[in-house]
Structure 1
């Protein structure tokens, strides 16, 4: 019996192969989430974990912000990681000097380009902003850095102006141009069109940096990649300003399943998610894709029965692929078959009639809206005073 998989749809749709790299910005944009501050040693550990996954570029921070930030960026540069280390820089030569002093491989030179930002934030004309940006790009290149030029609020910038600016940045020898969807205004269709048009006028790689204000950051990032963007920006757990950024874990799983990109170690995704959750103090939603507690949790009797026989019935990919574990939940929707599996693992060998009786007790006991623990289930078994064979410890 054939399995009509998503790959068949992708083949029919003519999904293109992708030439991409990941730039993770957890240590910079992720830390700009209100209330999040990573200690220096925490930044080092996150950087190591990102490197182990195979992330090609790590944006280590914004070193001009403070002495401790500069020291943290320098320490990450000294770890000897395989990933290239990048730092953020305003369109100021003094910012570039601080980044150079840290020993970074790459600098991300940014300036706001939308009329809204020019008027109310920078209080500059577009010509003045462009001059500052290009002079800084040129200065950074003269000092041997890989340079990414990023137009902040690019997706609300006059498109003809933006294209001319990216072309100028290429003429000034920028290595990348970056489209920052700063307020998450795009949708996949508009992002695909925008990147396709920019790709017609520049020969250097394009980056996409998506925010999640409309819940479309991941979809927009994938659309940008399909249109030809090379560098895709992420944060672990999608943390970042306001509603956050494209989640690293969700992007990497999509790249594996939909596009066959398998060079990243997905088995470390759950552990780095838990690490960043602990360090940031930002809890991961239970129903979050890939790394949420419920991503591989099953309670419904019909679902559990099927999963116990063949996990693929209700799991698109195995929990082991992302370093997670399957959980069978004891609750209102748990059936006799699931209880047989759970109680057997606990050491009990119960008859079918007793399992049905136990299932009824579980349904009643779970009405207080939370799953039942194994200890509570054991007490229910003992309270029923049923005869059973116990093979547990």
Structure 2
């Protein structure tokens, strides 16, 4: 039987992702913000240089195109880390393109000018400036002041051959005329990378589509630029739990670069989770990256940044591909006994574990059937007998949760010594 006949995919009904390459500077790219915006999480620990370089190496192997290495304006400690990572990128001939976040201040941009000369590579200056009315009111800013501030910083970067991505903070709550004014002036000064931000996690997928359509039609094309000459970045946050959905909406609306962080680590509720975004776009057929190392990357990010990884976190949480429920486990086991890993990965899972460096796991607990126990014993090379299965079944039914492997081994040892 054909595998395609075993799953009816409602996701594809009256849906087709299409993208005209001639309208874009490149395909769908990703900018990993884990080492900058991610570390602004109130719970995050700043990893060592060696740990950051290890995370950087995972990004390279996963085929991510961009990385934000940090915030030079935060001081010498951060500059030292950025400098070390740039050296690693240069020495290992990485394809990933480095960048750093900067305020629209020449003092923030100057270190990038110096590091570009030292490492002989371009370093994207992600220059940010808040544009929403609520931010302007709070800070006592006017649009005239914002435009003047942007002009000074962008002109300085362009004159020193530092590529600029101009970032409007809180774009999703900014007035259209203000967004249009400041982006178009930035493009006049030579900016060819724009970043649209949902800084406060306010927007819904509909808002993403409406805003990016506005950027395309009213900002870029209305100013006389070809869409393919302007890179549009999307940077989302997770305050309403819509980070991944908004990232997908941004891709569908034509964004060229999607930002995110490992495990969605970041300020407040966090950034849009890059790992979940990659999983979904891979399953949708939008990207072809080999993501078998994605789990290893996520686990290392969890270890080094020390932000909790919930057991039920999609795909990469400990519970994601484990089941102790009899009916569910029985179906998975039947597929495994057929030697059909494709089937085992999908019969009770919307995500194929093997595609992301993971596997299905059968547990034993109060909702388990005897097939769980038999399978576990076989996998642990323990001789199966009716009496042992009955003994473990009785113990399992008395548990309040699934048993740990060491608990099952202890139960088997106790039975064998009777």
TM-score by length of 2: 0.86
Q: Is 1:299–1:333's contact at 8 Å kept on the other side of the alignment?
A: yes
Alignment of 1:253-268 (within 5 A): 253-262=279-288, 264-268=289-293
> Who is 1:139 aligned against?
156
Q: Give, in whole Å, the separation in 2 of the partners of 1:9 and 1:281.
A: 35
Ranges in structure 1 where 5+ consecutive residues have no aligned partner: 388-393
Q: Are residue 282 (structure 1) and residue 299 (structure 2) matched? A: no
Number of residue pairs matched by the alignment? 381
Deviating above 6 A after TM superposition, structure 1's stretches of 4 or more consecutive aligned residues are none
> Who is 2:111 aligned against?
98
Q: Secondary structure at 2:293's aligned position in 1?
A: helix
Q: Are residue 25 (structure 1) and residue 25 (structure 2) matched? A: no
Residue-by-residue CA offset, 1:201-236 (whole Å, 9 max, x unaligned): 313121111010000011111101111111100101
Which is worse superposed, 371-380 or 236-245?
A: 371-380
Residue-by-residue CA offset, 1:272-305 (whole Å, 9 max, x unaligned): 1111111111110111112111111111011111
Q: Is 1:354–1:386's contact at 8 Å kept on the other side of the alignment?
A: no
Change (3 A) 1:155 1:196: same
> Who is 2:269 aligned against?
243
Q: Secondary structure at 1:350's aligned position in 2?
A: coil
Q: Give, in whole Å, the separation in 2 of the partners of 1:261 and 1:286.
A: 27
Q: CA RMSD in A?
A: 2.0
> Who is 2:119 aligned against?
none
Ranges in structure 2 where 5+ consecutive residues have no aligned partner: 21-26, 117-121, 221-226, 336-343
Q: Secondary structure at 2:42's aligned position in 1?
A: coil
Q: Give, in whole Å, the separation in 1 of the partners of 2:388 and 2:182.
A: 73
Residue-by-residue CA offset, 1:294-335 (whole Å, 9 max, x unaligned): 111111011111011221211233322212232211211111
Q: Are residue 3 (structure 1) and residue 12 (structure 2) matched? A: no
Q: Secondary structure at 1:233's aligned position in 2?
A: strand
Q: Give, in whole Å, the separation in 1 of the partners of 2:390 and 2:417.
A: 12
Q: Are residue 217 (structure 1) and residue 217 (structure 2) matched? A: no
Change (3 A) 1:75 1:383: closer
Residue-by-residue CA offset, 1:180-203 (whole Å, 9 max, x unaligned): 101100011111111011111313
> Who is 2:260 aligned against?
234
Q: Give, in whole Å, the separation in 2 of the partners of 1:375 and 1:91.
A: 56
Q: Give, in whole Å, the separation in 1 of the partners of 2:150 and 2:309.
A: 37
Q: Secondary structure at 2:284's aligned position in 1?
A: helix
> Who is 1:14 aligned against?
16
Q: Is 2:112–2:162's contact at 8 Å kept on the other side of the alignment?
A: no
Q: Give, in whole Å, the separation in 1 of the partners of 2:382 and 2:16.
A: 52
Q: Give, in whole Å, the separation in 1 of the partners of 2:15 and 2:86.
A: 42
CA drift of 1:83 comes to 0.6
Change (3 A) 1:135 1:332: same
Which is worse superposed, 228-237 or 353-362?
A: 353-362
Alignment of 1:149-228 (within 5 A): 149-200=166-217, 201-202=219-220, 203=227, 204-228=230-254
Q: Is 2:363–2:376's contact at 8 Å kept on the other side of the alignment?
A: no
Residue-by-residue CA offset, 1:240-280 (whole Å, 9 max, x unaligned): 00011111211111111113411x23111111111111111
Which is worse superposed, 310-319 or 241-250?
A: 310-319
CA drift of 1:31 comes to 0.6
Change (3 A) 1:205 1:375: closer
CA drift of 1:101 comes to 1.8
> Who is 1:391 aligned against?
none
Q: Give, in whole Å, the separation in 2 of the partners of 1:219 and 1:32.
A: 22
Q: Give, in whole Å, the separation in 1 of the partners of 2:100 and 2:137.
A: 26
